[in-house]
Structure 1
Amino acid sequence: MRTGIATVCLSGTLEEKLRAAAKAGFGGVEIFETDLVTSSLSPEDVRLLAEDLGLGLDLYQPFRDLDSVPEELYRANLRRAEAKFGLMGRLGIETILVCSNVGTASIDDDALRTEQLHGLAELAADHGVKVAYEALAWGTYVNDYEHAWRLVADADHPSLGTCLDTFHILSRGWDTEPIEKIPGEKIFFVQVADAPKLSMDVLNWSRHYRVFPGEGQFDLPKFLGHVAHTGYNGPVSLEVFNDTFRQADVERTAVDAMRSLIWLEERTAQHVAAQRVAAEHDGALAAPAAKPAMPLRTLPEVAPPSGMNFAEVTAEDTHPLERLLAQLGFASQGEHRTKPVSLWTLGDARIVLNRQQARGVAPGISALAFDVDDAVKAVARASQLKAVPVARASQAGEEILQAVRAPDGTEVFLCQDARWTREFGGGEGEAAHDGDRSPSSVGSGARGGRARIDHINLAQPWQHYDEAVLFYSSTLALTPQPSQDVSSPSGLVRSQVMQTPLADGGRAVRLALNLAPWVRADSVRGTVFDTFAEHIAIEVPDLIAHAQACRRRGLPFLPIPDNYYEDLDARFELPPGKLAALREFDLLYDRDEHGEFLHFYTATVGSVFFEVVQRIDGYDGFGAPNAPVRHAVQHAAQHRGQR
């Protein structure tokens, strides 16, 4: 599949955009007119630079409000078009995008539009240029791609074709199946963009909230599958208007964009293959159909992760963390044989404390590890999706762990087993852990009653939030769940859960990505507070018993307000004894139609804290109604600590 990107997707100068697109691996670019007009490069310089970078210049855009106009204005539009055709010759671009008219003074007459498009095509042919006509979703009279195609077909000129844009089609809810009725040779260009489903006017939705494929909610593989069946074999190009992308680092955004097209190409190949199998099964295909002209590559196929192998926290001084883990019931498995790293375990939950290259570093989550079937294949897939491999220094006899770096800098390890634990405590770490059947690690919980990592919550930089969602969904096959907004003393926190399903209806892996409000300066004390730390959640079989044991070990619990328990009683009418136990140990509670959820949080050390949870029956959430309470209590504790 030939990939492309519009320069409007990226920040920086035109030269910076072209270099970033080439570095990310794109085959071509669309030159957005404003980028050229504001550039110090001449059209000839742009052409030479693109040739040097190995980039095709695939489209010049946009040309607006050509059709549906009175004759005098149409003649002026042709003069304007002829000037652009000459400019395209200097750039070496063969195709121009012409948008349907959005003016209020336009004329609603299809015969007039057909005549005017034919005249434009005649002029374009004289200059060796092709015209791709596109129906804008907010076009005054032409806002439907089928309408645009009828006009192109009626104009009947070899230099006139149509442009299909996913946003303009899917934002209006148009049926995409009729795309297959358009001859592939008359589709001159295809533009793709994803978007969250929003209730707002389509123009503002388009101008500010488009995202790259896989970062929104449009069914792009289905759309592109229909395009593939037409025989189209031209560029599939990103046209994404997004305020954040146009402020972020240009090279990083280009890589994210390229990853999204690789993801889309694979998903489209899978969609086309599934359709073919279904049609053959239903007898709809009497004979093998010709393959789509568009080549669709796939990546190494890997199964979703089956669990969390470990979490790593890096800090210069790990003593506060060691004390906290001991109070939570974790046992030290000793130091690594060659590195300043220690391992702590509770049942199947493993926490690595890393002091390497940590001078001046406060405690924070630095790495995650997932259980996978084939680590080498999983890393190969991630690398093809533009993930950066992470090298782990290993000496003779040590495990070689595969890892890549996530968008926020977190190292993501892909593990087939836990043999690496033998490198701790003289080689007895995992064996000692396997034999531990203390009361705190057995019961009726998951994995035969042993404690385990239930989920990990990571805070994401605002400019890379959507990138992180695509990274984890494309490289690890985690499925994004509907996002939620959680209130806190500093504003709303947007939370996006990524998870993998199990056959029994449970979840093997849960990863929550949080986009927190801006960190703000305290006007009284002049101190910057960040209450949006990250956390590691541990599932145990019996939370109340575990909380009792933690209190005996001296764990300080976050004080939950009495108002919370009064509200809890009003909402759930819990048995008095159960409510009293929750209140006694500062525990939080939630319930839905599937089951119950108990949990508590620790204080924050650096930027990390721990949560301990118990899932009863089929509860699969995260206690979201309790999140504002947690935010408020931790916020208050952090302010008290600054006094």
Structure 2
Amino acid sequence: MRTSIATVSLSGTLTEKLTAAARAGFDGVEIFENDLIGSPLGPEEIRDLVADLGLTIDLYQPMRDIEAVPEDEFARNLRRAEHKFRLMRRLGADTVLVCSSVSPYAADDDALAAGQLRRLAELAQEHGIRVAYEALAWGRHVNTYEHAWRIVESADHPALGICLDSFHILARGADTTGIEAIPGEKIFFVQLADAPRMSLDVLQWSRHHRCFPGQGDLDVTGLVRAAVRAGYGGPLSLEVFNDVFRQADAGRTAVDALRSLTLLQEAAGLTAPPAPVVPTGFAFVEIATADTTRLAPLLTALGFARTARHTGKPVDLWEQGEARILLNTDTAHHRADPALTAVGLESPDPAGASGRAESLLAPVLPRRRAPRDAALDAVAAPDGTEFFFCATDPAGSTGWTGDFAPAPHTPHPIGITRVDHVALTQPWHHFDEATLFHHGVLGLRPHAGVDLADPYGLLRSRAVSNEDGTVRIALGIGASPAQDRDREGRPQHVALLTDDLVATVRRALAAGARLLPVPANYYDDLAAHHEFAPGELETYRELGILHDRDEKGEFRHCYTMTTGRVFFELVERKDGYDGYGARNAPVRLAAQHATADRPPGAQS
């Protein structure tokens, strides 16, 4: 189906918004009245610009407080409408959005509303315009799509139809199956927005917290299916009021928006892009640093050995069990402090994973590669982390490991078996984009979000994973927008799995690892919440181990001191525990603030 986006969904001037929508690949736009009024371009110039960009104007909006009003007020409304209809003809738009009235003059009189909307439609028809009537969720008397449809049906005019807005419908918990009873030709327009579930006044919820489909909790897919089953064949258009989007780069937001529509159409069965290729594990985690003198000793203390060197690049492979860490010392990165720059994902079909990414506007990154190097494709996540699609060969003769020559080493493992998860701090204004990217492009399942208390603010965190938990990624927002100005200012961490955390920690400490100190108050509080075996809590206190448990099982974990912007977590999962120890995050964050000059602010 054709795709469209309301200019109110993007930041910038009208010209910037139109350009962003066109470059992202949208077919059309809704022109929001305020954007036109504030533009230095005349209607004809805007019409020509839209055409030059390969777009169409699918809707002009909004026209407010029209119907069910006293006759003298309605006469003024018709005069206002005629001016707008003439403007729309100059603009090249043929459909106008009319919102259900919130006017204090509006009467609770469906017959009056239908009669006046019919007269409005008659006037619109004279100008070649169609009227799409929408029920606002906070409309004075008309606030459901069923009620709006009864009025439109009663008015019975070919130039009058209904606009279905997913937010207004789903925010009120409406049953969308009734949409299928509306004749498709009378559904003039469909506007789409998602939103997180929130206990807010619906107007404030709508104005500040809408998001693109797939980034919230509303069943937008079900509404689209119902509209299509009714016979709707017009554009699917995004109308998203969001404080973050109004400040973010319009081009990037437009790409995120179109990706959400592509995924929505896939979920609704309307299109069939390349199928998701769900990763099966972590192939490697890459850390870039111009100076290994701080990180190499830490990896050694954690039981890793430098097992191989890339044959053509300054990249070393460190291994322990199935956990692999690449240290990239390419001076082109200009990173004095270590930073997590890439993640390799084990993929059953790397080519299929790349095709999926390309179809969802995540193009494969250009990469310098020698003729004999493995042909690894990578895409960039919203925070800039590169994700490689890998097929690891245990023998090291094919796949990406074949690019490395073995190095002499003496294994000294301390019990780490594999990478449990990676935690990536996102730019504060791209958190929802990141969730959609990791779900749609990488095929990972999003879990419920949590809020984490940092000494300097409240952080959002949300994990994504594959079904068996062999790939887990924790996404979070940094402590402040200021960190976004410097990508190296956003921390990341790598969690390493062990079957016996106590034994692993003792070996790490004996090898010289520096672990994050945990306040004694934490253990006093822990004793109040849970019962422990004799000596167990004392061991946790001695070693700086944190503990969590739920109805499934138990979780033990601890952290290294931060090196640059990277730190490591050692974790042990027992009896099906599937979380990340979120209740311990405030303790960890406070301890990191207390031991660092700059606040780390990463997520758990």
Place the TM-score, normalised by the shorter chain, in its bin.
Answer: over 0.9
Aligned equivalent of 1:256: 256
Distance 2:599 2:105 in 1: 64
What SS class does the counterpart of residue 123 from structure 1 fall into?
helix
Aligned residue type for 2:403: E
Give the aligned partner of residue 518 of structure 1: 480
Write the deviation string for residues 452-475 of structure 1: whole angstroms up to 9, x where unpaired: 110111111111111111111111
Determine the structure 2 residue equivalent to 1:387: 362
Q: Where do 1:392-541 residues align within 5 Å?
A: 392-418=367-393, 419-426=399-406, 440-441=414-415, 451-502=417-468, 507-518=469-480, 533-541=491-499
Percent same amino acid at aligned positions?
Answer: 52
User: Within 5 Å, which residues of 2 pair with 1:70-469?
Assistant: 70-269=70-269, 296-356=270-330, 357-418=332-393, 419-426=399-406, 440-441=414-415, 451-469=417-435
In the other structure, the counterpart of 1:280 is none
Measured in 2, the distance between the counterparts of 1:342 and 1:531 equals: 24
User: Does the alignment pair 1:593 with 2:551?
Assistant: yes
Asked if 2 retains the 8 angstrom alpha-carbon contact of 1:536 and 1:611, the reply is yes
Tell whether the 8 Å contact from 1:531 to 1:635 is kept in structure 2 after alignment. no
Cα deviation, 1:316-374, whole Å, max 9, x if unaligned, reads 11221111110101111132111011111111011111122122442111011211111
The answer to whether the 8 A contact 1:558-1:603 is kept is: yes
Distance 1:534 1:20 in 2: 31
Paired residues, number: 591
**Ranges in structure 2 where 5+ consecutive residues have no aligned partner:** 394-398
Conserved 8 A contact 1:180-1:229: yes
SS of the residue aligned with 2:333?
A: coil
- Structure 2 residue matching 1:57: 3-state secondary structure: strand
Tell me the SS of whatever aligns to 2:218. coil
Question: What stretches of structure 1 move > 6 A for 4+ residues in a row?
Answer: none
Report deviation, 1:303.
3.4
Amino acid at match of 2:473: L
Q: Amino acid of the residue matched to residue 416 of structure 1?
A: A
Query: 2:19 matched to 1:57?
Result: no
Residues 94-144 of structure 1: per-residue CA shift (max 9 Å, x gap): 100000001222111001001001100110111111000000000000000
Comparing 204-213 with 355-364, greater Cα deviation is found at 355-364
| 2:199 counterpart letter in structure 1 | S
Shift of 1:576: 2.5
When normalised by structure 1's length, the TM-score is 0.89
| Separation of aligned partners in 2, 1:403 and 1:639 | 34
2:558 matches 1:558 = no
Q: CA deviation at 1:618?
A: 1.0
1:278 counterpart residue number: none
- 1:251 Cα deviation after fit: 0.7
Structure 1: which amino acid aligns with 2:248? A
* Conservation of the 8 A alpha-carbon contact between 1:194 and 1:211: yes
Query: What displacement does 1:585 show?
Result: 1.2
The answer to whether the 8 Å contact 2:196/2:218 transfers is yes
Query: Distance between the aligned counterparts of 1:374 and 1:353, measured in 2?
Result: 26
Q: Does the C-alpha gap of structure 1 residues 369 and 439 become closer, same or farther in structure 2, counting only changes over 3 Å?
A: closer
Q: CA shift at 1:520, angstroms? A: 7.5
8 Å CA contact retained: 1:392, 1:400: no
Q: What amino acid sits opposite 2:535 in the alignment?
A: G
Partner Cα distance (1:539, 1:407) in 2? 26
For 2:566 and 2:161, locate their aligned partners in 1 and report how far apart those are by CA, in whole Å.
56
Could you tell me whether the CA contact under 8 Å between 2:3 and 2:236 is conserved in 1?
yes
Letter in 1 for 2:243: D
Q: Report how far residue 519 of structure 1 moved.
A: 6.3
Bigger mean CA deviation after superposition, 607-616 or 391-400: 391-400
Uncovered stretches (5+) of structure 1, i.e. residues with no partner: 270-295, 442-449, 522-527
Contact 1:543/1:614 (CA < 8 Å) preserved in 2?
yes
Counterpart CA distance in 2 for 1:459 and 1:361 is 19
Offset of residue 532 of structure 1: 6.4
Are 2:161 and 2:188, in contact at CA under 8 Å, matched by a contact in 1? yes
SS state of the match for residue 473, structure 1?
Answer: helix
CA RMSD, 1 decimal: 1.9
- TM-superposition CA deviations, 1:176-215 (whole Å, max 9, x none): 0000000110000000001001001000110010001111
Aligned twin of 2:396:
none
Q: How far 1:416 sits from its partner (Å)?
A: 2.3
CA pair 155-486 structure 1, distance change in 2 beyond 3 A: same
Deviation at 1:543, TM superposition (A): 0.8
| Structure-1 separation of matches of 2:365 and 2:513 | 36
Structure 1 residue corresponding to 2:560, chosen from 602, 608, 612: 602
